[in-house]
Amino acid sequence: MKQIIFTVYDDIKKEIAGLTRMESDVVFNMDKANTLLVAEYFDRLVENKKEYAEKIGADFKFFHNTMETSELKNENDFTNVNLYKHYLFAQLAEEYDEVMYVDMDVVFNTDINVFEEHDLSKGIHVKDQDNEIIWKNKDEIALVRIGKRSPTLKYFITKELLDGKDNHVMNTGIMLGRSEHILQINYLERLKEANDIIDELKDLPELLNPHYYPNNESIFSYILEKFNIPYVLLEEKWHKIYSDKPEEGLTGNCIHFINKQFGRYFKQKTKCIYSLHIDIPEELLDNPKSFKDNPLTKSEMAKIGFNKYKDQLIDNHTSYAEAVGAQYIHFQYDKDYEEFRKRFTNLSEYDIVNLYKIWLLDKLTREYDLVMYVDLDVYFRDKASIFDTVPADHSICCLYDTSEDLSITATNTYFNKFKKDFRNPEAKYWNAHAMLVEEDLEPDNYVFNTGIIITSKKCMEQLDYFSDIDEVLENMKELKEDEFSMYPEKVRGSFGYDNETIMSYKVNKNKVAVTQLPVWWHWRHYYKSKEAMITGTFQFNDDLYRLNTKCNEWDVSIIHFISKNFGLVFDA
């Protein structure tokens, strides 16, 4: 019985049409980081597959940058390379009795013979993505929610190819089968027909249809169902997927790292998690707006909360760091901070502290491969490693809002209602907007929440945060005080000197790749009421119920208690 395992990888530029500038930036940053991660681990990924094939007595072939020799032509190379693997699947079935395909981002984590473990006489073995289909009612799905590469979009494409029949959406990152079944697929012969149908579907006046495209997984799923090709769904252990979702440990015989975080398997990066707490004296507290039902300012509430729960929060951080193999450091007022604050005599203590945390990030990324900063008001719910999930090697991973998220519009109606203080995200958006306009740069920007941030030395060097910090702060002062500014006085009055505004300005100016942290890695908990801060009250219990419900619904791993209501996790 002749058997072969093969992999295809082409150095391509992935493109998705129909996106806004900021959406395109997100996709570009994600693809760039993923490509760089594959390049970093390239030799080890190939060697892993080659060694496994040798162990089980199978041949191994690696097709690298060979797609141009094929006759496949589609709208972009990303689509072509995924169609190409089906072309090779059939070609190799002419020569071998049993064929297995694995994507480049698949790692073998076993010595068990995959061909012996599966009865390939029953058909093509492949894993479905049904658990990733978020909704099967097309009328209630919005593209902005599901994305162009989503299994949900692929489900609807396949369903319409099948004239409305319900279906599986297969993940073709791992496929294996006998030659007799592989040759029944006739992928290339049936591709044109499927493409023609998809082109017709794209012209229908429905929300999703203009975004339909001839992706390999929709077409493969369609062919299996339409032409009654026998198939068997692989067990998860033979196609274990790691995505951007929180998950502890490392399991599976064939591991598909769709997040490209191969460090979970190869484990060679040094990691650090740090936090910072400066107990600001009451006379130096700033005065942001408080809540209507609470006489305490936000700064006073934070001071009280930290004084009560500081040790428990640090214990929580320490325990998490130990579990994920990271060094944990908690910084407090020391000589380094004292020297740092002397540089910024005109800033509030609050602004100095928040600049200092970025300074520490810059410093620590020179000592560790990956560094994560967490505000002291951050709480870890479990031990799922964020380092194994986000591309911090090649991007700044941080939660952010866009102007669309914040419902910002440059209209008279919007500006007439504008009443924000310097800590408000909308104020930070316009502050960074003004800084970028001043330098004739694209002004639309991200509003970062740097309560959780993960990155590397490479990204911090590109960010270049502190090389001209004095000039940046002076420019911010001039923009705030400019009586002839094009920005309304109420907007200009909200300008400040915070680290997040500078972060946004620097990211745009220096074209630094950023990755949005999903809600499960940065869940924001906001203040509800004065009574909700008191353990045992109805409001407290209601807040606790809502928090637990949302965290369970979204598989939240990390909570950022902007509310400072730490009793919800320590006193409940």
Q: What is the pLDDT of residues 507-557, one digit of tens each?
A: 999 999 999 999 999 999 999 999 999 999 999 999 999 999 999 999 999
Determine the average pLDDT of the residues in 414-419: 90
Rounded Cα–Cα distance for residues 88 and 308 (Å): 63
Q: Which strands sit side by side in the sheet containing 447-455, from one edge to the other?
A: 327-331, 271-276, 370-374, 447-455, 396-401, 514-516
User: What is the full DSSP assignment across 270-315?
Assistant: -EEEEEE-----GGG-------TT-SS-HHHHHHHHHHHHHHHHHH
The average pLDDT across 306-321 equals 97
pLDDT at 29 over 80: no
Q: For position 5, what pLDDT does the model report?
A: 98
> What pLDDT is recorded for position 492?
93
Residues 6+ apart with CB under 8 A from 206: 138
Question: What average pLDDT does the segment 266-282 reach?
Answer: 91
Look at 203 and 557; give whichever has higher pLDDT. 557
- Whether the pLDDT of residue 68 is over 90: the answer is no
Over range 303-322, report the average pLDDT: 96
Task: Look at residue 131 and tell me whether its pLDDT is greater than 90.
Answer: no
Across 269-289, average pLDDT: 83
Give the three-class secondary structure for 525. Answer: strand
State pLDDT tens for residues 214-239.
888 999 999 999 999 999 999 999 99
> 97 with 121: CB under 8 angstroms?
no
Strand order in 558-561's β-sheet? Answer: 378-380, 558-561, 523-525
β 170-178/124-128 pair status? antiparallel
Interval 340-350: pLDDT, tens = 999 999 999 99
Burial of 116 (0-12, 13-18, 19+ CB in 10 A): exposed
- Whether 3-257 shares its CATH topology with 267-288+310-517 is answered yes
Residue 453: closest CA among 403, 383, 503:
503
Out of 3.90.550.10, 3.10.20.30, 3.40.640.10, 1.20.1260.120, select the CATH number for domain 3-257.
3.90.550.10
pLDDT mean over 270-277: 98
The domain limits of the chain are 3-257, 267-288+310-517
pLDDT band at residue 249, thresholds of 50, 70 and 90? very high
What's the confidence (pLDDT) of residue 18? 47
Write the class of the CATH domain 267-288+310-517.
alpha beta
Convert the pLDDT of each residue in 437-492 to its tens digit: 999 999 999 999 999 999 999 999 999 999 999 999 999 999 999 988 999 999 99
* 7 has pLDDT over 70: yes
Could you tell me what percent of the chain has a pLDDT over 90? 74
Q: Is 558 exposed, middle or buried (0-12, 13-18, 19+ CB in 10 A)?
A: buried
How high does pLDDT run on average in the chain? 90
Measured between alpha carbons, how far is 141 from 188 in angstroms, rounded to an integer? 31
Give tens-digit pLDDT for 370-381. 999 999 999 999
- Are 311 and 260 in contact by the 8 Å Cβ rule? The answer is no
Q: Give 383's pLDDT tier (boundaries 50, 70, 90).
A: very high
pLDDT of residue 521: 98
Bigger pLDDT: 427 or 422? 427
**Secondary structure class of 182 (helix, strand, coil):** helix
Q: What is the pLDDT confidence band of residue 12, given thresholds at 50, 70 and 90?
A: low
pTM beyond 0.85, yes or no: yes
In angstroms, the CA 260 to CA 244 distance is 10
Measured on CA atoms in the order 99, 159, 144, 76, is the torsion positive or negative? positive
The pLDDT of residue 19 is 45
